[in-house]
Amino acid sequence: MKKSVTIKDVAAYTGLSVGTVSMALNGSERIAQKTKKYVAMAADELGFRKNPFARSLSTKKSRIIGCIVPDITNQFYGEMVGHLQKELVERDYGLIVGFANEDRNQEARLISQFIDRGVDGIISVPVTDTKHDISQIRTLYEDSFPIVFISAYYKDIPYYTVMADLEDGMYQITASFLKKGYKNMAFVFGDLNLIPSSERLNGVKRAYAAAGIEFDPSNIFQASGVTYLAGYSTVVNYTGHNKPDVIFAINDIMAMGIISALRAKGMRIPEDIKVAGFDDISNAAFLETPLTTVSQSIELMCRETVTLLLNRLEGKNTFSGIKKIQTTVIIRESAY
Amino acid sequence: MKKSVTIKDVAAYTGLSVGTVSMALNGSERIAQKTKKYVAMAADELGFRKNPFARSLSTKKSRIIGCIVPDITNQFYGEMVGHLQKELVERDYGLIVGFANEDRNQEARLISQFIDRGVDGIISVPVTDTKHDISQIRTLYEDSFPIVFISAYYKDIPYYTVMADLEDGMYQITASFLKKGYKNMAFVFGDLNLIPSSERLNGVKRAYAAAGIEFDPSNIFQASGVTYLAGYSTVVNYTGHNKPDVIFAINDIMAMGIISALRAKGMRIPEDIKVAGFDDISNAAFLETPLTTVSQSIELMCRETVTLLLNRLEGKNTFSGIKKIQTTVIIRESAY
DNA sequence: ACATTGAGTTGAAACGGTTCAATTTTACGA
DNA sequence: TCGTAAAATTGAACCGTTTCAACTCAATGT
């Protein structure tokens, strides 16, 4: 590491004062055009780079956003992080990441680490498990620390959230299958206390109610998680007698696990049994049996989330509730 | 945002000097035990949090590491980022991420952004495409900026790299199939100029040579990328007449795409054709047809990489060449 | 010729820590 | 009780920016 060129060196080189150089570099109105150009050239010539720490110390801004997702191995969250990063980089922000493994304590630790690192704001996929202590989040909210939620929210803190309209998505897809005449449908969700499950379930119930059909709660299966393996295991460990017409998984990854296990049992998809996912991850269309699913536009969600957060950072006043993003049912071969 | 408590407040509260408080909080040897305890309590009571910018300005360290991977959507890199994050967090470092999309220019931009953000070091999966300008990397190397490479390296800059022993892995798996009597094997790789492809190819050739069998280069297929879709398309678009006994994909994701396309063409795996991947991503074992593959221990690679980087940061002198991590062939149903 | 205005620039005070030479306090042996 | 060495603490310099009140200076109107 060669010793670094500071703004002082640029000032000395140009014969201007440090303040002028600083303002020139920041494009201040009060500096003459030609001075700005001159300073820019000199800075370039000397290879000057702003020291981010000094800048941050003075401005109290780091232009770094912290982001917490449950599990980066899940392609859905992979795509989410990818889009968030893209949106942020475009606006000259950096993204620092953490993975909470669906554990509220880890999420809490990450949040406080991020704050200690001086992030300007946080985007989190909250761990909405109701069993856990949420006071940290409440305090942040009360201090109006810029944290926004994506893809879920805390029941008690339904603010600054961007998520897909899960209930409506599930309503649509359930209704469409009810209309086709299928009634015996199984729903493999994760922990039903979590918002993402309970919202979907509401959609399901609403669809049955709208169709005037009674909903049998024994068709809800609570898997050990929302992963490929959880889907796989749920099918493998199922000892019941009921063979549903359609199985709905809480997400595509889980649907893939379910399909895999069903096939291993010798069933054909969609002939013997239909399977639908949720999310429309990028290769859902290219699976051996292209997957019927409900698309949440991750890209749109991420863009809205970043916009919401940055608007808050800039002090613009923003929508503070739960913004729901429209979903779309996509019928593919796995459940024609 | 309530106004923050500074070290000065703690000093005033305890009646000690700022210097003492700072050293006490940093656990300096020169401060009396009881003073440290006293200061810690006071700091706690006042809710003092160190300002990271001031700290960094003074120490010239941010405890943030930048990490660049080609594509976060690929589960292999998802797992990689997950492990890197875990290793770093354990050592109280933060991880800031960027995605290069296999594009050297994007990588370059990210690297310089990271440096401007004041990262202490960089971990990159390099885009080893030889067509592109690599002078930035060379300069970094010459300035001995702490950058380490994972999973690949630049041909001209074979330093500070941790990667799986791709050549040996491919040698092993190829040899094992040659031994079983299969000779007509196809290899679907990405751009052959890239290290990850060329190393594997060397392994293949070495295995054929060792078995005394001539290798037919027309069995190498260069796909348009290394994604699920690239694998899928390669099979779909194949118009040749040759039906190989075994298809080796450059990675598991691609193997999945290949299997999917083969099945769509009515072939049975492994009866009609065998398929093997590479990486052993976490659900490779749970696919409909569990996947034969070569396991690279991502976790071990990540740990070695982080250790290497942090040792460099601490000025310890470290191994500076290419550290190869042992791979393991895993035979599963897709290619019994 | 002279006040007035406004554009452009300066200089010093933050920002909140770390570091270390200098100084003070403490502990111990004679 | 005193002298001295070791331990603990102090205080000021420093890190590299931003910010803004005060200042300079040229242009303008009268």
Q: Which of A238, A331, A248 is nearest to A289 (CA)?
A: A331
Please state which of the ranges A42-46, A130-134, B214-218 shows the lowest mean pLDDT. Answer: A130-134
Q: Which tokens hold the place of B256?
A: 């999945």
- Indicate if the pLDDT at residue B98 is higher than 90: yes
Nearest CA to CA, how far is A224 from chain B (Å)? 16
Q: Structural domain boundaries of chain B?
A: 7-50, 64-163+298-325, 166-296+329-335
Integer Cα distance of A57 and A48 in angstroms: 19
Helix B252-264 crosses helix B75-90 at what angle (to 10 degrees)? 160
Percentage of chain A exceeding pLDDT 90? 79
pLDDT at residue number B317: 81
Q: Which tokens hold the place of A240?
A: 């019941």
Distance in angstroms: CA A6, C1' D14? 14
Report the residue from A49, A51, A97 with minimal CB separation from B85: A97
pLDDT at residue number B107: 93
The pLDDT-based confidence of B130 (bands split at 50, 70, 90) is low
Taking residues A287-316, what's their average pLDDT?
93
> A246-249 and A274-276: which strand pairing?
parallel
Q: Which tens digit of pLDDT belongs to each residue from B84-94?
A: 999 999 999 99
Residues 16-55 of A with CB under 7 A from strand C: 16-20, 23, 30-33, 35, 54
Mutate: best of B95, B287, B312, partner A, most A CBs <10 A? B287
Mutate: best of A49, A92, A117, partner B, most B CBs <10 A? A117
B295: left (phi over 0), alpha (psi -120 to 50) or beta: beta
CA dist list (Å): A113 to A118, A123, A132, B196, B268? 9, 14, 19, 36, 51
- Indicate if the pLDDT at residue A8 is higher than 90: yes
Taking residues B46-73, what's their average pLDDT?
96
Query: Where are the strands (E) in chain A, listed by range?
Result: 64-69, 94-99, 121-124, 147-150, 161-164, 185-189, 220-222, 246-249, 274-276, 293-296, 322-325, 327-330
Strand C proximal to A59 Cβ, under 7 A: no
Distance in angstroms: CA B22, C1' D13? 16
Report the residue from B115, B143, B282 with minimal CB separation from A73: B282
CATH among 3.40.1030.10, 3.40.190.10, 3.40.47.10, 3.40.50.2300 for A64-164+298-325: 3.40.50.2300
Task: Classify domain A166-297+329-335 at the CATH superfamily level.
Answer: Response regulator (3.40.50.2300)
What integer best gives the mean pLDDT of chain A?
93
Residue with CA nearest C1' of nucleotide D10: B17
Radius of gyration of chain B (CA): 25
What are the residues whose beta carbons fall under 8 Å from the beta carbon of B164, sequence distance 6 or more? B151, B296, B297, B301, B324, B325, B326, B327
CB B290 within 8 A of CB B334: yes
Residue corresponding to tokens 């926004």: A148
The pLDDT-based confidence of A2 (bands split at 50, 70, 90) is low
Taking residues A227-247, what's their average pLDDT?
92
Q: Which of A255, A276, A259 is nearest to A268 (CA)?
A: A259
Return the exposure string of B25-38: e unless at least 16 CB atoms fall within 10 Å of the residue's CB, then b. beeeeebeeeebeb
Task: Give B172: exposed, middle or buried? Use CB within 10 Å, 0-12, 13-18, 19+.
Answer: middle
Strand D proximal to A317 Cβ, under 7 A: no
pLDDT at residue number A280: 93
Strand D proximal to A179 Cβ, under 7 A: no
pLDDT at residue number B282: 81
CB B121 within 8 A of CB B148: yes
Distance in angstroms: CA A29, C1' C3? 27
Taking residues B6-18, what's their average pLDDT?
96
- Indicate if the pLDDT at residue A1 is higher than 60: no
CB contact under 8 A, A75 and B73: yes
Q: Which amino acid is at A26?
A: N
Query: On the CB side of B98, how many CA atoms lie within 13 Å of its CA?
Result: 32
Report the residue from A118, A228, A287 with minimal CB separation from B286: A228
CB B204 within 8 A of CB B198: no
Q: Which tens digit of pLDDT belongs to each residue from A240-283?
A: 888 999 999 999 999 999 998 998 898 999 999 999 999 998 87
Q: Give the class (CATH, top level) of B166-296+329-335.
A: alpha beta
Q: For residue A34, give the nucleotide whose C1' atom is nearest its CA.
A: C8
Mutate: best of B117, B120, B233, partner A, most A CBs <10 A? B117
Kindly state the helix (H) or strand (E) to which residue A216 belongs, with its residue range.
none
pLDDT at residue number B289: 85
Q: Which tokens hold the place of B84?
A: 């890197």
Q: In what order do the strands lie in the sheet with A64-69?
A: A322-325, A161-164, A147-150, A121-124, A64-69, A94-99, B94-99, B64-69, B121-124, B147-150, B161-164, B322-325
Number of Cβ pairs < 8 A linking chain A and chain B: 138
CB contact under 8 A, B94 and A86: no
Q: Which tens digit of pLDDT belongs to each residue from A77-86?
A: 999 999 999 9
CB contact under 8 A, A57 and B51: yes
3-class state of residue B183 by DSSP: coil
Taking residues B160-175, what's their average pLDDT?
96
Please state which of the ranges A265-274, B2-11, B22-31, B209-218 shows the lowest mean pLDDT. Answer: B2-11
CB B246 within 8 A of CB B335: yes
pLDDT at residue number B238: 93
Q: Which tens digit of pLDDT belongs to each residue from A96-106?
A: 999 998 888 99
Q: Which tokens hold the place of B15?
A: 């009646």
Q: Which tokens hold the place of A232?
A: 């796989």
Q: Which tens digit of pLDDT belongs to each residue from A120-176?
A: 999 999 987 767 788 999 999 999 899 999 999 998 899 999 999 999 999 999 999
pLDDT at residue number A130: 65
Taking residues A293-320, what's their average pLDDT?
94
- Indicate if the pLDDT at residue B192 is higher than 70: yes
Q: Which amino acid is at B166?
A: L
Distance in angstroms: CA B32, C1' D13? 24
Task: Classify domain B64-163+298-325 at the CATH superfamily level.
Answer: Response regulator (3.40.50.2300)
Strand D proximal to B19 Cβ, under 7 A: yes
pLDDT at residue number B295: 96
Q: Which tokens hold the place of A183?
A: 């009634």
- Phi, psi of B249, deg, nearest 5: -100, 160
The pLDDT-based confidence of A302 (bands split at 50, 70, 90) is very high
Task: Give B142: exposed, middle or buried? Use CB within 10 Å, 0-12, 13-18, 19+.
Answer: exposed
Residue corresponding to tokens 């201090």: A143
pLDDT at residue number B137: 92
CB B289 within 8 A of CB A288: no
CB B336 within 8 A of CB B270: yes
Residue with CA nearest C1' of nucleotide D12: B19
CB B331 within 8 A of CB B193: no
Q: In what order do the strands lie in the sheet with B185-189?
A: B220-222, B185-189, B246-249, B274-276
CB contact under 8 A, A97 and B99: no
CB contact under 8 A, B57 and A57: yes
